[in-house]
Every structure is written in structure tokens, then in C-alpha cells.
A = this chain, B = another copy of it.
Amino acid sequence: MNRAAENRTPLPVPAAAARGGAWEREVVDFYIHLAQAFSLPKSVGAIFGVLFASPRPLSLDDIVERLSISKGSASAGLKLLQRVGAVQPTYEPGDRRTRYLPEMSIRRLLTGLLQETLTPHLRRGAEQLESLAPLLEEFPPEERKVLAARLRALNTWQSKAKRLLPFVLGFLGRPLRRAKAVDDDGRGP
């Protein structure tokens, strides 16, 4: 259960971090902040954090205990993380509880995240844009010209945004300096 780095700081516990050793606390803290950068709930960052910090997969109850959050939160958080592909459930033969592994590949992580957050909005936007042009009829020609230009810019936007995603993923997929086709996770196939 890793009590190695237990009684380290007798400090007043830094906010909403984990209980374990310094390593776990720091990692959890790191991911809490990262989560907020993407405006995801802190608990989601924290959950990914404990999984990342643990040398082996953790169960829902492990997480509840280490973060002292409710089972409800942990369950919802794990569900979200699974949906975006940030964690992977593992099923061991003689064990009834599911344990979770953190996804280490940026590509997969970002793919999932963007798919979840941005893509649906882009799609919705695209539809709405089409219905916009006719409304310009209302304007006198001079103003219409200005607004039509903006509408065109907006369409350019959309096109670029759609193309951007695969582009970014391509970039992230390629290792910094060439290596075997292992992607960048620490785990096996």
C-alpha cells in the first residue's frame, strides 16, 4: 500500500490534495491545476492524479479513500475520464472490482478531450452558419457588404477548425526524435 513516504510534512495539508506520500500529493496537485486549465472539475484532475501517481491500477474505493471524496464523485469522475479515454479499466481474473489505469499517450488523451468538448460545438455551429446568410437581405447594400465579409471569415474559421484537429493530432503523434512505433505511453500493447 505504499506507506514508504508517509509522515513527511506535518503541515496543515495543502488544500484539497491527496493523503498519501509527498509524491502522490504533488502529482495530484499538478493534475488538479491542469484540469482547471481545461476547466474540468478539480475532482476529475485529482482522480487522474492518483491513478498516475500509483504504480498499479486503483479501484473506485481506493480512489475514494485516497482523495476522501464521495463515491458519487469518484464514480462520475471515472465515467468522464473513461469517456474521453483518459483512463482504461482493467479486469483481473479473480477480482470483482474494476481497476483503472491512466492513459499515458497525449494523442489519445487530447483526441478524447477535444472530441468530447469541441467537436459537438463545431458541428452545431456549422449547421447554424448556413441559416445565417439569408438574414443579410435585410440590410442596405453597403452594410450588407461588410457583414457578408465577416460571414465569409466565419466560414473560413469553421473549415480551418475542422482541419486543425487531425493536424494537431498528427503533430502529437510523432515522437520528438524518431523512435519505434510505440506511441508515447509507458505500457505494453
Please report A residues at the B interface, Cβ cutoff 8 Å. Answer: 2, 4-5, 8, 21-23, 26-27, 29-30, 33-34, 36-37, 39, 52-53, 55-56, 102, 104, 106, 117-118, 121-122, 124-125, 128-129, 131-132, 135-136, 138-140, 142-143, 146-147, 149-150, 152-153, 156-157, 159-160, 164, 167-168, 171-172, 176, 184-186
Contacts and interface: CB of A to CB of B under 8 A. Distances in A.
Contacts of A135: 5, 21-23, 26
**A contact patch SS:** helix
B5 A37 contact: no
Contact of A23 (B33, B128, B147): B147
Contacts of A149: 186
A55 B125 contact: no
B23 A117 contact: no
A106 B39 contact: no
Contact of A146 (B160, B176, B186): B186
A153 B22 contact: no
B2 A143 contact: yes
Given A4-B138, A157-B106, A164-B172, A23 B124 contact: no
Nearest to A157: B106
A24 to B, nearest CB: 9
Contact of A104 (B102, B122, B150): B150
A21 to B, nearest CB: 6
A121 B32 CA distance: 11
A75 to B, nearest CB: 23
Contacts of A22: 135, 138
Contact of A37 (B118, B131, B140): B118
B37 A117 contact: yes
27 contacts: A2-B143, A4-B138, A5-B138, A21-B138, A23-B132, A26-B131, A26-B132, A27-B132, A30-B128, A33-B125, A33-B128, A34-B121, A39-B39, A55-B139, A55-B142, A55-B143, A104-B150, A104-B153, A106-B157, A146-B186, A149-B186, A152-B186, A153-B184, A156-B176, A164-B168, A167-B168, A167-B171
